[in-house]
């Protein structure tokens, strides 16, 4: 799953961006401090950073200086609308510059555009002998095509984009069914069972106690 770091000192802005990008299928982490952002980037890998300029700890330009050698795409999101600020941000290596207030639809579109530029929107996924063409909605196991329902396909894409990562039941349900998860629901388990059977993943798609499921694949 594509991981995006949101760095903005206004929590409501972080929450708004997180809500809309999560709904679009991205995994988001948000912080409100420049130094905290740098610490997090040292510990974790991110596919994109959305970066405000006016930040406590270290401002966005300082954070950008730190990020630039790492090759992580950056989009500045700031209330600083003057041309000189845009030019400075772009010269520092930012890939785009969005001025507040912004339209969330435009934000998502710009995020997608930058990720495409860096070839970070995988359309062909592989796990063992299983290959998924996301755009064509086609699943192959070796040379045999596997027919999946839309929900099974959605689960499969999530598992394959997060190989060897334990995914919470709530996350799986909310991403695929786009609704609130209820602990007594057997819907997710039944779909996972069918996915195991169709793909021969009885030993690969494992249950994680008190968490959810994990696709165990040795690459």
Bin 57: left if φ > 0, else alpha if -120 < ψ < 50, else beta.
left
* pLDDT of 50: 97
Domain range 3-117, its CATH number among 3.40.50.150, 3.40.50.170, 3.40.50.2300, 3.40.980.10: 3.40.50.2300
* pLDDT of 183: 65
**CB–CB of 92/64 below 8 Å?**
yes
* pLDDT of 68: 87
Domain ranges of the chain: 3-117, 124-215
Do the domains 124-215 and 3-117 match in fold? no
Beta-strand pair 167-168/3-7 = unpaired
* pLDDT of 24: 67
**CB–CB of 30/24 below 8 Å?**
no
**CB–CB of 125/132 below 8 Å?**
yes
pLDDT digits (tens, 9 = 90+) for 11-47: 999 999 998 888 666 889 999 999 999 999 999 999 9
* pLDDT of 181: 63
* pLDDT of 30: 96
- Cα within 13 Å of Cα(159), Cβ side: 29
| Residue stretches of the chain with pLDDT short of 70 | 23-25, 121-123, 180-184, 219
CATH class of 124-215: mainly alpha
What's the pTM value of the predicted model, to 2 decimals? 0.57
* pLDDT of 175: 78
Q: Which residues contact 140 (CB under 8 A, 6 or more apart)?
A: 130, 131, 132, 133, 146
* pLDDT of 1: 73
């Amino acid at each position: 799953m594509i991981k995006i770091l949101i760095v903005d000192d206004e929590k409501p802005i972080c929450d708004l961006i997180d809500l809309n990008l999560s709904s679009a299928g991205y995994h988001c982490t948000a912080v409100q401090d420049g130094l905290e952002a740098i610490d997090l980037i040292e510990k974790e890998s991110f596919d994109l950073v959305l970066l405000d300029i006016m930040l406590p700890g270290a401002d966005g330009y300082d954070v950008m200086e730190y990020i630039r050698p790492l090759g992580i795409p950056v989009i500045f999101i700031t209330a600083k609308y003057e041309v000189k600020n845009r030019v400075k941000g772009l010269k520092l290596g930012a890939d785009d510059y969005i001025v507040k207030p912004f339209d969330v639809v435009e934000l998502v579109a710009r995020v997608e555009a930058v990720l495409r530029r860096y070839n970070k929107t995988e359309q062909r996924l592989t796990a063992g002998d299983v290959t998924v063409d996301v755009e064509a909605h086609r699943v192959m196991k070796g040379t045999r095509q596997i027919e999946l329902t839309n929900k099974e396909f959605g689960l499969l894409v999530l598992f394959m984009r997060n190989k060897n990562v334990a995914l919470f039941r709530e996350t799986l349900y909310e991403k695929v069914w786009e609704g609130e998860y209820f602990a007594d629901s057997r819907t997710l388990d039944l779909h996972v069972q069918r996915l195991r059977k169709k793909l021969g993943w009885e030993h690969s798609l494992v249950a994680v106690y008190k968490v959810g499921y994990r696709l165990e694949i040795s690459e």
